[in-house]
Structure 1
Amino acid sequence: MEIRSSFAATLAPSRRRTVETTCRFTFFCYQRDSEKSRALARKIIGKCKQDGGIDDKNRDSGCAALVRSLSRKRMPHVAHELLLELRIQGFQPNSSTLSALMLCYAENGLLPQAEAIWEEIVNSSFVPSTQIVSELFDAYGKMGHFDGVARIVDQVGSRDLKFLPQVYSLAISCFGKGGQLELMENTLKDMVSRGYMVDSATGNAFVGYYSIFGSLTEMENAYGRFKRSCLLLEEEGIRAMSFAYIKERKFYKLGEFLRDVGLGRGNVGNLLWNLLLVSYAANFKMKSLQREFVRMVEAGFQPDLTTFNIRALAFSRMSLFWDLHLSLEHMKHERITPDLVTYGCFVDAYLDKRLGRNLSFALNKMNLDDSPVVLTEPLVFEVLGKGDFQTSSEAFLEFKRPSEWNYRKLIALYLKKQYRRDQIFWNY
């Protein structure tokens, strides 16, 4: 009050009255909101006790569940008053209740309060679980509060808790998701300097985040370090790095990377071979595409739908009808059912050369009464795009369920659309 009085005394009388009125109004609003939260907390406690949700046996779990429920409802102040009221009644919160309140604060943007609860947990005999730390890091990451994440890692490291390696991995993931590559790098170096081994999941995530937020050179350097650690790049890491090369249209480097990973690896299925084929199809290197396809079969890998559709898209764009039909026969031999992409390759190829009257020759070899579906690997469309028939059909499918359509209806509708477009063109 003395500080407020001395401050108000330096102001003009009218201004002084305005400041004092504002202060009283703000204090009144805060007090009123606090009273509302306290009243609601008491009401919740009374109802839970009546229903048996909070009793001597399950008070800890019941209170933690209540706090989590209030967090989802964006009512952190009520959760705070709830815990205060329970403390007045003699309840001492355990680790699960404090953790729930900390997450409640963090998820609702009250970071100073969350940090205060964290300090209380760390300085007590409680040991937070890895799941709680993970959820806290996620909340901090969404708020962009990466300094707080680094501070928690330092605190856990200073106490030398048993789950410190997991905390390092969680922090690396949090920094990576936020694009904080320097913090991620420093955390990894600190982890290694303490003598902890980098596991496969952490290493793959490390390379993956560099492929998303870093340059190709930085990504390749990260991959080189990953290889020297004698770890295997898993499917998610392969996809992330491949997408980075595709985004920059560096298909030669993509091919080199895939060969370096090892085309003979069977634990990732046909992913490596399909990506290699699409790297040749991107520049329509048809002889190399065919040669690698033969090598794939000779290596013991069975082509899947994506494999055939990569070739079909390339044949369609190059108007190689004979190869397109041979590919369809090969699919039948392997008992692979065509999808919307396969049908689109034939429709687009024939219509592009104004051979619509001959389209039935190809379509009669396929089941036009099947329901349309797209089962091709999405990375293929990042390289080769989607054909006009596929794009139009997907637009039609948005208005009705796929079960209400079949390929016959889609093709008939698309042909009518193309015919009308040609008529409008010639009228002009």
Structure 2
Amino acid sequence: MGNKPAKPEREAVSSLAPDRPEILLKILPPLDHAYVRWLARDLERIHGFAPRNCRAVTPPDHYVEYMQSHGWLDVNLDDPDLAHLFPNPQPIPNDHTSLCKSLVHDLLGRGLLSSAQQVVQRFIASSPTVHDAIFAVEFASASGMDLGPGISGELMRKLVDLGHPLSAHEFYHDRVVAGGIEPDSNIVNSLATCLAKLGKLDDAVKLFDRLIGSGDCVASNAACSAILKGYYEQDKFVEAFDYFVRISDANVKLGMWAYNVLIDGLCQQGYVGEAIEVLDIMCRITGLPPTLHMLKTLFYGLCKRGWSIEAEWIFEEMEAQGFFVDKVMYTSLMNAYGKDRKMKMAMRVYFRMLKNGYDPDICTFNTLIYGFSKMGLFDKAWVLYNLMNDLGIQPNEVTYSIMIHNYCKKGKLDCAMSLLNSMAPCNLTPCVHCYTPIMVALYKQNRCFEVDEWCERMLENGVVPDHVLFFVLMKNKPKGLGIELQLCLLMLQAIAKNGCGLDCSSTINSDKINSTLALEQEIEPLLKKIARSDLNLGNVAGGIYVSALCEGGKTEAALACLENMVIAGCAPLLFTFNSLIKRLFQDGLSEDVKSLIEIMQNWGISPNLETYLIMVNEYCKKEDLALAFGILEQMEEMGLKPNVAIYDCIIACLSQQRRISEAETLFRRMLENGVDPDEVAYMTMINAYARNGKGVKALHLFEMMIENAVQPNSYSYTAL
């Protein structure tokens, strides 16, 4: 079996023992050092292999470092191609055990206690099983030997390495503490490792602090890595970062995996500043340049946060190191500049991409069109649109949706309608995202009857409505008994027919049902049919129904609907939770809000800007600015960038309380954080100045509004 030839697809390396066949090994973490040593001896004794005949397929870097230092590379015995070569680790042969026992007795008889303890420690270290390690300790105790910190520490380390941290923890309390043994570095490090693996991270960190604080003990790589891994598994990357900084200050060297995972997690959660600091620390401690994966992770994290200048620095660093920079990265950088209203910089990146031999695609053009449209520069957006056609790239639904949305936002409703009507000749079917902004704009212009016409046209064209459209319609419909449930039934019937292909001919038209109870009885079986047909559409339909119930003040029914959705296998949307959070706030059940957010997070759903806007808005309604500012600070600590609506809520509340100086400070803070004020935010601040006799400042802000291409409405002029 030892002469099994290597598979041809695996690249061979030159062997230092050409007369021996080469073998490919892998060991999956956690790496058992004793097992590797046992395997090495067994290979050499039985198969005639030596370390130089073995090569590797490597998982994480920190295992490679250990194996290389012992003349081996990383290994995985679970590889199905190799498993038949290597049996599970066998207990230490009786002859070896007898030799060790005899040697220990001989050393004790000669009064060499320290040497005897070292033999027991070596026996434990080489034990491939828990049974063998515990046998060594029991033998030492039976021989009248004081276990001391050496043997105790070795056993604890072995138990942790073999995947029995609970046994190590129990041994510490039952034998080390109870026996009055003074813990040394090995014991404390092993204890910290097992606490981390048991999920007791706070206790493990306290122990680490004791290690660092005392001059006698040194924190081990294994203990520090275990604590970091514990934080990673719980997605506590901010806490992991704080701990990482302390590890670095203590000069503990970590494997590359620790840096990689921490940078990934911090960027994913929006803490890009901390991720950059991790990269700097890694380069300083290891002397190694950042890897391609690290740089790309940082780049995308910076783009997501809108740190376009820093993202371009990473971009240039990658090019300087000779790394491949792909088209997606160019497009992401253009998008970051576009969101920041820096279209000159975005176009510079575009031309740089062309110069480096990349052809633009639909994503490139949509990104640039979005940037120009957002700024109201539609002439430039149309230049790109025409260029795209000239290059043979057909505009898609996203292209039209971007331009329609921004036309509506800038008050150019006729242009938006014309653009939507031009999609059919281009063989494009408008989606719900094309219709929704038009209906929002119609409501703003009090053209409510036209909304019904557009909605009817949309549904007749087979478009599937979503929860966003429902929310827009519900908020603008005249209030009345069961209006929200009638609208909900209409939306669900359209989802069933247009999305699921269900026959809805037997269902009653929503406008013919006046009783809320009858509406609920009509909606609930339809919702079940949708969920059975398509779970994703079931999530949307369920969110619409919960929102309608919340709007009607039926909190208990909404919570029951949420429970039924989960039972049916649906994954409720964040929109669904937001509707419930708002309803609970309105009912004065703030403690229930906290519980609901915990449930939401346990399901892997994080609060978004809309969630925080709901909370800030409710606090401002109660004029509880302390809690509103608390939410703002909490968001910034989490790496979330508050949107203009959140700032506007607090500014409006400050203005109502005539705290103009604080409102002004918050407005400046919003600008400094890269958040562009919209028409409402400008109007709020202009009103605040005007009401408090600061006409010059109001006029200055009005001029700034015009310069930033924000179209003032009649209210802004009235305030002036």
Provide the TM-score with structure 1 as the length reference: 0.53
Pick from 461, 464, 467: which aligns with 1:371? 464
3-state DSSP class of the match of 2:273?
coil
Partner of 1:406: 494
User: What corresponds to 2:313 in structure 1?
Assistant: 221
Indicate the SS of the match to 1:198.
Answer: coil
Q: Distance in 2 between matches of 1:282 and 1:272?
A: 16
Q: 1:178 to 1:227 in 2, by over 3 A?
A: closer
Correspondence for 2:201: 107
Quick check: 1:274–1:306 contact (8 Å CA) kept in 2?
Answer: yes
Shift of 1:203: 0.5
* Post-superposition CA distance 1:379-416 (Å, at most 9, x none): xxxxxxx9xx675148779x9699725389999xxxxx
The alpha carbon displacement at 1:287 in A equals 3.0
How far, CA to CA, are the matches of 1:290 and 1:62 in structure 2? 64
Is 2:199–2:230's contact at 8 Å kept on the other side of the alignment? no
CA displacement at 1:155 relative to structure 2: 2.5
Alignment partner for residue 286 of structure 1, among 378, 393, 398?
378
Question: Hey, what does 2:421 align to over in structure 1?
Answer: 325
Larger RCO, structures 1/2 (Cα 8 Å, 6+ apart):
1
Aligned length: 317
Q: Partners of 1:328 and 1:175 in 2: how far apart?
A: 45
Counting only pairs closer than 5 Å after superposition, residues 205-284 of structure 1 correspond to structure 2 as 205-211=297-303, 216-232=308-324, 241=333, 244-246=336-338, 248-261=340-353, 270-284=362-376
- SS state at 2:376 partner: coil
Equivalent residue for 1:122, pick from 220, 228, 243 = 220
Matched residue, 1:150: 248
AA aligned to 1:326 is S
Cα 1:213–1:340 change in 2 (3 A) is: closer
| 8 A Cα contact 1:245 1:251, kept in partner | yes
- Among residues 128, 138, 141, which one is paired with 2:238 in the alignment? 141
Q: How far apart, in 1, do the equivalents of 2:329 and 2:231 lie?
A: 21
Deviations 1:103-123 (A, max 9, x none): 556633651324679988837
Q: Partners in 2 of 1:183 and 1:341 — Cα distance?
A: 40
Counterpart of 1:166 in structure 2 is 257
Q: Distance in 2 between matches of 1:150 and 1:137?
A: 21
Q: Could you give the per-residue CA deviations for residues 187-217 of structure 1, whole angstroms, max 9, x where no partner exists? A: 35437x73x4533320122334555679654
**TM-superposed deviation, 1:99:** 4.0
Q: Note if contact 1:340-1:372 (Cα within 8 Å) is conserved in structure 2.
A: yes
CA 1:83 to 1:273, structure 2 compared with 1: closer, same or farther past 3 Å? Answer: farther
Partner SS, residue 422 of structure 2: helix
Contact 2:432 2:465 in 1 (8 A): yes
Which amino acid counterpart does residue 220 of structure 2 have in structure 1? V
**Matched residue, 2:280:** 186
Give the structure with the higher percent helix. 1
Distance 1:358 1:390, change over 3 A: closer
Question: Does the C-alpha gap of structure 1 residues 114 and 401 become closer, same or farther in structure 2, counting only changes over 3 Å?
Answer: farther
Corresponding position of 1:342:
434
Q: Contact 1:270 / 1:301 at 8 angstroms: preserved in 2?
A: yes
**CA distance in 2 between partners of 1:96 and 1:403 (Å):** 60
TM-score by length of 2: 0.34
Shift of 1:309: 0.5
**Over alpha carbons, which structure has the higher Rg?**
2
- Superposition pairs of residues 19-34 of structure 1, within 5 angstroms: none
Deviation at 1:264, TM superposition (A): 8.3
2:233 and 2:339 mapped to 1: Cα distance?
33
Identify if the C-alpha distance between structure 1 residues 186 and 198 changes in structure 2 by more than 3 Å, giving closer, same or farther: closer
Q: What is the RMSD of the two structures over their aligned residues, measured on CA atoms?
A: 5.6
The residue that corresponds to 2:472 in the other structure is 392
Q: 1: CA distance between counterparts of 2:407 and 2:460?
A: 21
Aligned-residue sequence identity (percent) comes to 11
Distance 1:301 1:345, change over 3 A: same
Please tell me whether the aligned partners of residues 130 and 167 of structure 1 are also in contact (alpha carbons under 8 angstroms).
Answer: no
Offset, 1:166? 3.4
The 2-side partners of 1:400 and 1:363 are apart by 15
Residue deviations 1:140-196, cap 9 Å, x none?
A: 7326334224247x4326xxxxxx4434434545676373366335235437x73x4
Contact 1:106 1:114 in 2 (8 A): no
Q: Which residue does 2:387 correspond to in 1?
A: 295
List aligned pairs for 1:34-73, cutoff 5 A. 56=131, 64=163
Structure 1: 5+ residue stretches without partners: 1-53, 68-78, 158-163, 375-385, 412-428
Aligned-residue offset at 1:277 = 1.0
CA distance in 1, matches of 2:306, 2:402: 29
Among 63, 77, 82, the alignment partner of 2:170 is: 82
Deviations 1:207-260 (A, max 9, x none): 345556796544433332233233345698668755653553323323433454
SS in 1 for 2:341: coil
Q: Give the letter aligned to residue 166 of structure 1.
A: W
Q: Distance in 2 between matches of 1:275 and 1:363?
A: 31
Say if 2:196 and 2:230, in contact at 8 Å, map to a contact too.
no
8 Å Cα contact 1:121-1:127 kept in structure 2: yes
Relative distance call for 1:85 and 1:173 in structure 2 (3 A) is same
2:294 corresponds to: 202
Closer/same/farther in 2, CA of residues 87 and 134 from structure 1, 3 Å limit: same
Residues 312 and 324 of structure 1 are in contact (CA less than 8 Å); yes or no, is this contact kept in structure 2? yes
Do the aligned partners of residues 106 and 324 (structure 1) sit closer, same or farther apart at CA in structure 2, a change above 3 Å counting? same
| 1:253-308 deviations in Å (ceiling 9; x for gaps) | 23433454569868x97433221110121123333222312333444545443222
Gaps of 5+ in 2: 1-128, 135-158, 179-185, 476-483, 499-508, 512-720
